[in-house]
């Protein structure tokens, strides 16, 4: 029996909603990255985007272990000489708390255009409300 090759026309996508309140950031990010990539499906193909959409709620209430809240830094470069900038997780949580979850999940996706396409299916919100009710997302829970 031959393994059928999947095409973009035969891919079916679902919508899932995840509550990030009191969840550990790294463990949450690995599970969401798996769903975005499509590795939970029997039709997984590494060269195609077969993953599902994920909505993350309460991103501002995610937990970090240890002293990462004060010691962990996010770096970026502005493009100008001397333009290296950093921001701690505590400051990022005040200014843009959804970026903490986005950064963790994007780092676990493939690099390049395929990873960027997968990251576009991730929707992160600070509160418990989201504008995707029309897609009828399913609640996603994991056994601890």
Q: Where are the domains of the chain?
A: 14-67+98-139
* pTM score of the predicted model: 0.92
Q: Average of pLDDT values for 1-15?
A: 87
14-67+98-139 to CATH, choices 3.40.50.720, 2.40.128.110, 3.40.190.10, 3.90.1180.10: 3.90.1180.10
Which residue has tokens 């000489």? 81
| pLDDT score of 143 | 58
- Give the pLDDT confidence score for residue 34 in this predicted structure: 97
């Amino acid at each position: 029996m031959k393994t059928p090759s999947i095409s973009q026309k035969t891919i079916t996508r679902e919508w899932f909603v995840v509550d990030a309140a009191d969840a550990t950031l790294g463990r949450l990010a690995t599970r969401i990255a798996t769903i975005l990539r499509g590795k939970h499906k029997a039709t997984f193909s590494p060269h195609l985007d077969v993953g599902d959409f994920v909505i993350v709620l309460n991103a501002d209430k995610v937990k970090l272990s240890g002293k990462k809240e004060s010691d962990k830094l996010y770096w970026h470069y502005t493009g100008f000489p001397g333009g290296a900038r950093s921001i701690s997780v505590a400051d990022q949580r005040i200014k843009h708390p959804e970026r903490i979850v986005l950064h963790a999940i994007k780092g676990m996706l493939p690099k390049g255009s395929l990873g960027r396409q997968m990251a576009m299916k991730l929707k992160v919100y600070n509160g418990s409300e989201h504008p995707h009710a029309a897609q009828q997302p399913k609640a996603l829970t994991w056994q601890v």
